[in-house]
Amino acid sequence: MFDDNDDDIRPVTWHDGAVRIIDQTALPGRLTYLDLGTVEELIAAIQRLAVRGAPALGVAGAYGVALALQNGECDRIADLRAARPTAVNLMTGVDRASARIGEGFEAVLAEAHAMLDQEVTANRTLSAYGADWLLGRLGVQRPLCLLTHCNAGALATAGWGTALGVVRDLHARGLVEVVYVDETRPLLQGTRLTAWELDRLGIPHLVQADGAAAGAIVSGRVDAAIVGADRIAANGDTANKIGTLGVALACAHAEAPFLVAAPTSTVDLATPSGAQIHVEQRAEAEILGHSAPAASRAHNPAFDVTPAALVSALTTERGVAEIARGELPGALWTA
């Protein structure tokens, strides 16, 4: 396990027989920790987005299996695995920890701890690869203007971050001028979470309406967009928070790099393309709660799928694949 004195954010840990999470619904107003003592409590926290982000969900899933074994709730493991159907990491984390149930509780808990540590290490490595690739692609050594959508920082991972990890790496080199932060409706993960993380790290940023993103990119204010992912298909199609596709389209028009940052645990080689990715539909109230007429209904997909042709590159802990140039994610396994 990482040292408790490490000052990075740890959104999911194991503490005194419970899964401890940062309640992301309370941010930025309060930094609140919740100790979840049952699988039912963990499932509810996942579904209300108290814990979210693909890598963080993977770690939460692994710890959830330990919780189930400790409490005699193994009949809830399948429900835990299905709590967020788009994020492949949740399923992977549950499956990885479940494979050790026959060895007993301590083995399952050790597997979850190992998964947490591996995810943080992967994030730091992929961030360096991504920063190097971006500077090489742009051919510059000046501070960059970057754009990100949703939250792919330490809060969404086991620590450090993916898309924001690349930003952090560049910031440490003195190469970030400003980050344009899409507010990310309807739940404002950009406004509430990404801006909070950037403020905490002292990284200059501007929060903008989602609808302003395309204009910022096409006008030339943005050098590159960097996003995370909830699932990456074998062909490079990428599922991420709703609104990501619009960012990718604007980058394609402006010929600006669109970089996806994710650990290989988010790459699902068993899913051939984005057409097979199940996109979660969330509650209508998230959309209709803003004074819509009573008779109105809502279309509220949590994610959209960006075609591989629009993804300039994918940075993982195993290297960078230039997806738009025909390099498939699976090539990283043999690189």
User: What is the DSSP code (8-state) at residue 307?
Assistant: -
Cα–Cα nearest to 80, from 170, 225, 71? 71
On whether the CB atoms of residues 39 and 79 are closer than 8 A, the answer is yes
pLDDT surpassing 50 at residue 3: no
CA distance 107 to 269: 27
- Give the tens place of pLDDT for each residue, 196-238: 999 999 999 999 999 999 999 999 999 999 999 999 999 999 9
Domain boundaries, the chain: 12-118, 127-333
pLDDT in the model for residue 7: 57
For residue 19, the cross-strand partners are 14, 36
Fold of 127-333: Rossmann fold (3.40.50)
Stretch among 2-11, 278-287, 299-308, 310-319 having the lowest mean pLDDT: 2-11
- Give the tens place of pLDDT for each residue, 161-182: 999 999 999 999 999 999 999 9
CA distance 26 to 40: 20
Sign for the pseudo-dihedral over CA of 298, 304, 310, 311 = positive
Q: How far is CA 165 from the centre of its chain?
A: 11
On whether the CB atoms of residues 333 and 148 are closer than 8 A, the answer is no
pLDDT in the model for residue 86: 85
Residue 49 CB contacts under 8 Å (≥ 6 apart), including other chains: 24, 25, 187
Token pair, residue 286, equals 């998230």
Three-class DSSP category at 24? coil
pLDDT surpassing 90 at residue 98: yes
Q: Please give the average per-residue pLDDT across 308-316, as a whole number.
A: 98
pLDDT in the model for residue 335: 58
pLDDT surpassing 60 at residue 1: no
What pTM did the predictor assign? 0.93
pLDDT surpassing 50 at residue 2: no
Three-class DSSP category at 192? helix
Residue in the structure block whose two tokens are 């510059």: 140
On whether the CB atoms of residues 268 and 154 are closer than 8 A, the answer is no
Which residues are known to be catalytic? 230
Share the mean pLDDT of the chain. Answer: 94
Give the number of other Cβ atoms within 10 Å of residue 203's Cβ: 18
pLDDT surpassing 80 at residue 256: yes
- For residue 234, the one-letter residue type is A
- At residue 285, φ and ψ (nearest 5 deg) are -60, -25
pLDDT in the model for residue 333: 84
What class has domain 12-118?
Answer: mainly alpha
- Give the tens place of pLDDT for each residue, 4-13: 334 578 999 9
